Structure 1
Amino acid sequence: MTTLTLWPSLGLAASRGNDTRLLVVLLRGGLDGLHTLIPVDDPNYRSLRGALAPGDARKLDADFALHPSLAFTHALYGKKQLLPVVAIAPPYRQRSHFEAQDCLENGSARPGGANTGWLNRCAGAMAGTQALSITTVMPLIMRGPGDASTWSPPLPRQVNPILLQRLQALYAHDSALAENFQRAVANQGMAAVQGAGGKGRMAAATAAAATFMSQPDGPRIAFVEDSGWDTHAGQAAILKNKLTELDNGLRAFHDGAQSLWDKTVVVVVTEFGRTARVNGTGGTDHGTGGLALLAGGAVRGGRIAGHWPGLSQAALNDGRDLRVTTDMRALFKAVLAGHLRVDQGRLEKAVFPESGKVRAMDGLLG
């Protein structure tokens, strides 16, 4: 593995005959998929969410709408370049951030199931293919013998959002301080959006990924991560800002990778979903079934993928959160096989070992 400190050439170019690109975006902390993709036609949603349900949602079809902060993402859906995938998660079914992220990144059926990452193994399975992680340190998903490098952009500094969220639970019960603290959290989010050219930390990272991948000898595979998605309290204000950052990040990559957009898939994932019912501090707790987003010119979008299990009490997992109906490896397999043309044998044996029973999803690509 190599660490990049400038903007150098990244080595041999990929074959021009199979010059597709893949960007994986991991939202660490557990994005609330029910706050992002709103099941407007599910009769149980409003009773579960109450005042936390976003207003002015951006309609997609008769059943679902996007959070109002996702303006550019909504436009991609209209162009059939966005495909939300509902009720999806890694095979891990507990509620530990660290174990769930480990499972998602190592590509096996359990935490600790491999000490290398599936995205690195994917690069290794494709001769001459390079992978780039836009991170300070090499994440598990990119560790291994494959040709993977890191580059860290100069991102604006701010207070750790996880620390703010933990403090918020303490301030929420203080009538004198709760409002001021909430205002401080909102200002924190605005500072992030105003940084990095006014678009936030994620936009800086995805713009960097677009620049590298657009070079004639650039990497075909890239990875970006973002933290601060663990919304136990004050979720509405936090996700209003965080989803704006995600929207800006998708726009920044789209605008910076125009020459590649038609042959690119962007996969946005998180380690698990969150509880269906709002908790006592205006947030949600760790759940299971989540949401993934596919974007790009190579995506067959403009519709909703996956199987929606519903939000009735009987349908909920453990009576508390959205039930998982799709193993996330089924999504990854479909993209790697159909878009990057990874050999099926290597996909089953090396990239996602012991996953033969997990069938790749159909119809994700254009």
Structure 2
Amino acid sequence: MTSRRAFLKAGGLALFGVGIGGVPTFLARAADSFKQKPAYKKNKVLVCIFQRGAMDGLMAVTPFTDAYLKAARPSLFMSAATLGNNTPLFDLDGRFGLHPSMSSFIPLFKENRLAIVHGVGSPNNTRSHFDAQDYMESGTPFSKTTTSGWLNRASGLLGHDASPFRAVSLTSSLPRSFYGDNEAIAISNLKDFSIQMQGNPMGTNMAAKSFEELYDQTSSTLLKETGKESFDAIKILQKTDVSKYTPANNAVYPTSALGTSLKQIAQLIKMDVGLQVAFAESSGWDTHFNQGTGTGVFARNVNDLSSSINAFWTDLDTLQDEVTVMTMTEFGRTVKQNGTGGTDHGRASCLFILGNDVNGGKVHGNVQPLTVENLEDGRDLAVTTDFRSVFSEVAGSHLNIHNNAILFPDWKESRIGVMRG
């Protein structure tokens, strides 16, 4: 079967939502030519959220009994005790406290559905956003030559006939995680599912009518056949008025980019279009100055993250057993605050995993007392859990993917017990 990646290379296409106008008519026509099949059967779905900018894991999930952290962050340290007008952390286990703006996570943690992994990160010690994100999304932290992303490889390992909506990123362009030979699409808005030309000799930003002519007249069998294959499920989208979607259980999504993306992922899951791997992004985590504590930019970000995920989980209703959500960020922040009330690029951070097959209600990982001798390079929370240990365990347990030689080349498998079984 010709891969979508080959189609992208041959036709110079990138799928995403731009402008207004709904599903282009030529896509609907391509779908019409496809023999009708029943809706795709419900599959297990992995939803990954990348927090771009490097989240301060020590503020999101604080080892509040650590005197060294308190000394290193005189104006940023937060306590689980009620002191004056300060809003306390939510005490998770007597050692770690959850940021008060993440209150919507507390019931999920208490129900053992939400797990936290702390001290997690890349074995590559780069503090470059671009490089660290690239390494994490490729899944090869010491190779810049990897052409595919780990989620694309995961999609290819699922082992049965793929829906064109098997791997979907709710972003304006395809993320590095989805690069590769297996089908993957980026859609920024289901309501405005549209098409844009990139790098085509006939010019960029071609109108749908011009592309329709190109599609009809091309002599490229690859373009014709793969185009129809890639849009098999368009008819399902066309028949659904996504603008009238009503979340279940009165779930209220934030109006943020992340909230909107997760709402649309919930729609795709319920529409039975064959979704198995979904991707969304959250930005604004590069808190070099005025980070804040109970209020401020960090508090707003973690509130949006937790509220968006909680709304998504509530909305899933009876489909919760089929879905696992996992967050990730390229690295953490320095233990010591800087002179502008913020934190600089560090090493380890934490991540969150939500699902009914998650070993939840625990803070997993190894965080040593934050003395100088325990810090990486004398300044950062040390990486004690390789991100691949978490990603592979989640993919193995939830999606039944166990070929780590392909999923994460040049890495030896090690479980940390974040998933049940």
TM-score with structure 2 length normalisation? 0.71
- Equivalent residue for 1:303? 362
- Equivalent residue for 2:267? 211
- 1:249 paired with 2:288, answer no
Aligned 1:9-24 pairs, distance under 5 A: 19-24=43-48
- Equivalent residue for 1:362? 417
- Equivalent residue for 2:188? 152
Secondary structure class of the residue paired with 1:25: strand
Secondary structure class of the residue paired with 2:391: helix
Aligned 1:183-222 pairs, distance under 5 A: 198-222=254-278
- Equivalent residue for 1:136? 172
| Percent of pairs with identical residues | 32
- Equivalent residue for 1:81? 113
Instruction: Mark the CA change 1:331 to 1:13 in structure 2 (over 3 Å): closer, same or farther.
Output: farther
1:73 offset after TM fit, Å? 1.1
What is the alpha-carbon distance in structure 1 between the residues aligned to residue 309 and residue 260 of structure 2? 11
- Equivalent residue for 1:229? 285
Pick the structure with greater CA Rg: 2
1:15 offset after TM fit, Å? 5.5
Farther off after superposition, 31-40 or 209-218 = 209-218
What is the alpha-carbon distance in structure 1 between the residues aligned to residue 333 and residue 111 of structure 2? 29
What is the alpha-carbon distance in structure 2 between the residues aligned to residue 39 and residue 25 of structure 1? 24
* Among candidates 63, 73, 79, match of residue 95 of structure 2: 63
* Preserved contact between residue 99 and residue 111 of structure 1 (Cα < 8 Å): no
Aligned 1:31-70 pairs, distance under 5 A: 31-54=55-78, 55-70=87-102
What is the alpha-carbon distance in structure 2 between the residues aligned to residue 146 and residue 362 of structure 1? 29
* Preserved contact between residue 100 and residue 111 of structure 1 (Cα < 8 Å): no
* Among candidates 133, 141, 145, match of residue 109 of structure 1: 141
Instruction: Mark the CA change 1:362 to 1:233 in structure 2 (over 3 Å): closer, same or farther.
Output: same
1:201 offset after TM fit, Å? 1.9
- Equivalent residue for 1:3? 15
1:304 offset after TM fit, Å? 1.0
What is the alpha-carbon distance in structure 1 between the residues aligned to residue 38 and residue 70 of structure 2? 53
Secondary structure class of the residue paired with 1:23: strand
- Equivalent residue for 1:338? 397
Q: Which amino acid aligns with 1:141?
A: S
Q: Which amino acid aligns with 2:177?
A: I
Secondary structure class of the residue paired with 1:219: coil
RMSD (CA atoms): 2.3
Q: Which amino acid aligns with 2:73?
A: R
1:45 offset after TM fit, Å? 1.8
* Among candidates 325, 348, 351, match of residue 292 of structure 1: 351
What is the alpha-carbon distance in structure 2 between the residues aligned to residue 289 and residue 207 of structure 1? 30
Instruction: Mark the CA change 1:91 to 1:13 in structure 2 (over 3 Å): closer, same or farther.
Output: farther
* Preserved contact between residue 200 and residue 248 of structure 1 (Cα < 8 Å): no
Aligned 1:252-331 pairs, distance under 5 A: 252-331=311-390
What is the alpha-carbon distance in structure 2 between the residues aligned to residue 65 and residue 12 of structure 1? 47
Instruction: Mark the CA change 1:353 to 1:12 in structure 2 (over 3 Å): closer, same or farther.
Output: farther
- Equivalent residue for 1:179? none
Q: Which amino acid aligns with 2:316?
A: A
What is the alpha-carbon distance in structure 1 between the residues aligned to residue 394 and residue 145 of structure 2? 22
1:125 offset after TM fit, Å? 1.0
- Equivalent residue for 1:92? 124
Instruction: Mark the CA change 1:81 to 1:282 in structure 2 (over 3 Å): closer, same or farther.
Output: same
1:91 offset after TM fit, Å? 2.5
Secondary structure class of the residue paired with 2:340: coil
1:228 offset after TM fit, Å? 0.9
Q: Which amino acid aligns with 2:291?
A: Q
* Preserved contact between residue 115 and residue 140 of structure 1 (Cα < 8 Å): no
Secondary structure class of the residue paired with 1:332: helix
Q: Which runs of 5+ in 2 are unaligned?
A: 5-13, 32-36, 79-86, 192-251
Q: Deviations over 1:172-216 (max 9, x none)?
A: xxxxxxxxxxxxxxxxxxxxxxxx975422111111111112222
Q: Which amino acid aligns with 1:202?
A: L
Farther off after superposition, 129-138 or 41-50 = 41-50
1:82 offset after TM fit, Å? 0.8
Q: Which amino acid aligns with 1:327?
A: D
Q: Which amino acid aligns with 2:120?
A: I
1:14 offset after TM fit, Å? 5.8
1:153 offset after TM fit, Å? 2.8
Instruction: Mark the CA change 1:4 to 1:255 in structure 2 (over 3 Å): closer, same or farther.
Output: farther
Aligned residues: 319
Q: Deviations over 1:161-182 (max 9, x none)?
A: xxxxxxxxxxxxxxxxxxxxxx
* Preserved contact between residue 254 and residue 307 of structure 2 (Cα < 8 Å): no
Q: Which amino acid aligns with 1:360?
A: R
What is the alpha-carbon distance in structure 1 between the residues aligned to residue 383 and residue 127 of structure 2? 13
Q: Which amino acid aligns with 1:108?
A: T
What is the alpha-carbon distance in structure 1 between the residues aligned to residue 16 and residue 307 of structure 2? 25
Q: Which amino acid aligns with 1:259?
A: T
TM-score with structure 1 length normalisation? 0.82
Instruction: Mark the CA change 1:70 to 1:34 in structure 2 (over 3 Å): closer, same or farther.
Output: same
What is the alpha-carbon distance in structure 2 between the residues aligned to residue 113 and residue 69 of structure 1? 40
